[in-house]
Amino acid sequence: MKPQSIQRGISSRHARSGGEAPDIGRVSRMHNPDLLASDGRPRKRKGKSKAAANKAVIIWSSVLGFSALCVIAAAFFLWLRPMLRHQAGNSALASDRPDQSVRVASEFPSPSSEETIILVTQALANRDPDRVADFFRMGSSNVAEILAYCADVGNRDGKFTGYEWLSSLDTDELLVEGVLVNYEDKDMVPRQRLALLTPDEAGKWKLDFDSFSRKTQPSWDKLLEHGAGQAVVRVIVAPDVYYNGPFSDESRWTSYLLRSPDTEVLLRGYCRKDSPEADVMKRIFEDGAQIARVILEIRRVKDGGKLQFEITRVLARDWILPAKQMGAPVLPN
């Protein structure tokens, strides 16, 4: 959505009227004596000249004013575009979630909104390595990694600006409560993190660190810049209709757009039709959802484009791995 250049051409001509040249002989009558100066050259009427000058001033003032407005509008759009982009991605964090009409049955009561926010606050503020396991569902991350991440939140996401309670986000047989953690970077662009909490075996609610950090293995840099062959990614997914290269055959592949809030690059993922992965993806969107959060295992294929991947596994229907997947093999960093 780049601003289009606007060009406007204006031509202004002053019509010059003059009578026929007089004869050398005697001139008995001159209908327009003011048209000639004493030296015989044509002379413009002063009134008309002034009106033409005023008209030119008005025209060029309008042109310059319009051009200035275009420049201001373009500058404003360029300044606003990053905010719009981040807001679009952030709204996806809050809205692209499963239908919550049915809660997952559990013996553990859900915390209230106040209790949920307190749990998130305590977890992110903790700097004691001995208490990390009390606040976090650690997943594939270790204590040092979690502490370093929480300590660096100001440099990474900016100033903390508040919470938004999302209530129940149950999925994949997990009881889940959600909170949006809002930040604002140095350019005043809003950023958000999704805090997902779920109870452990004893019923203690903990923040899932891997989903909060949107952990990808290997990193996006290694995947996109250094050509890693496969990865486990947390992405926002939408159905797509782009088929190209080794994925040209629409009868064999189903196409999806993959996007992460941590990169501006759009990836394309493809499921083999009639595969288990294609069935899972189909069920995710069968209720009419346009986009969804998913954890995918993806890999490059021969002759595929830099941003084209085959979807080889659907690990979760949200960014938090269910307990049955916690022991799933994780790709090296």
pTM to 2 decimal places: 0.69
pLDDT in tens, 114-171: 999 999 999 999 999 999 999 999 999 999 999 999 999 889 899 999 999 998 888 7
pLDDT beyond 90 at 230? yes
> Of the candidates 294, 243, 289, which has an alpha carbon nearest to the alpha carbon of residue 270?
243
Question: How many whole angstroms separate alpha carbon 240 and alpha carbon 219?
Answer: 25
> What pLDDT, on a 0 to 100 scale, did the predictor assign at position 171?
78
Q: d(Cα 256, Cα 282) in Å, to the nearest integer?
A: 11
Model pLDDT for residues 39-94, shown as the tens digit of each residue: 444 444 444 555 666 666 666 666 666 666 666 655 544 444 444 444 444 445 65
- Return the pLDDT at 310: 97
- Give the pLDDT band (50/70/90) at residue 5: very low
**Structure token digits, residue 326:** 């916690």
pLDDT of the residue at 184? 94
The confidence score (pLDDT) of residue 154 equals 86
What's the pLDDT score for residue 56? Answer: 65
**247 Cβ partners below 8 Å, 6+ apart?**
253, 255, 268, 270, 301, 304, 308, 310
Whole-number pLDDT of residue 8: 37
Q: What is the pLDDT of residue 94?
A: 56
Rg of the chain over Cα atoms, rounded to whole angstroms, equals 33
Computed over every residue of the chain, the mean pLDDT equals 78
Average pLDDT over residues 24-46: 41
Note the pLDDT tens digit of each residue in 172-216: 678 999 999 999 988 899 999 999 999 998 999 999 999 999 999
Residue 32 has pLDDT above 80, yes or no: no
Could you tell me the pLDDT band of residue 106, with boundaries at 50, 70 and 90?
A: low
The pLDDT of residue 54: 65
Listed residue (123, 296, 294, 110) closest to 198, CA to CA: 110
- pLDDT higher at 322 or 259: 259
Domain boundary assignment for the chain: 49-93, 113-212, 220-325
Average the pLDDT over 240-245 and give the result. 94
The rounded distance, in Å, linking the Cα atoms of 182 and 157 is 9
What is the CATH number assigned to the segment(s) 113-212?
Answer: 3.10.450
Confidence (pLDDT) at 104:
58
Say what the pLDDT of residue 92 is: 55
Alpha carbons 44 and 67: distance in angstroms, whole number: 33
Does position 21 have pLDDT exceeding 60, yes or no?
Answer: no
Residues 243-253: pLDDT tens digits?
Answer: 999 999 999 99
- Confidence category of residue 288, pLDDT binned at 50, 70, 90: confident
Instruction: Taking residues 268-288, report their average pLDDT.
Output: 93
3-state secondary structure of 191: strand
- The third-level CATH classification (topology) of the domain covering 220-325 is OB fold (Dihydrolipoamide Acetyltransferase, E2P) (2.40.50)
CA atoms within 13 A of residue 47's CA, in its CB half-sphere: 2
| Average pLDDT over every residue of 3-32 | 41
Edge-first strand order for the sheet with 136-137 is 136-137, 205-208, 190-199, 177-184, 159-168
How much is the pLDDT for 50?
Answer: 59
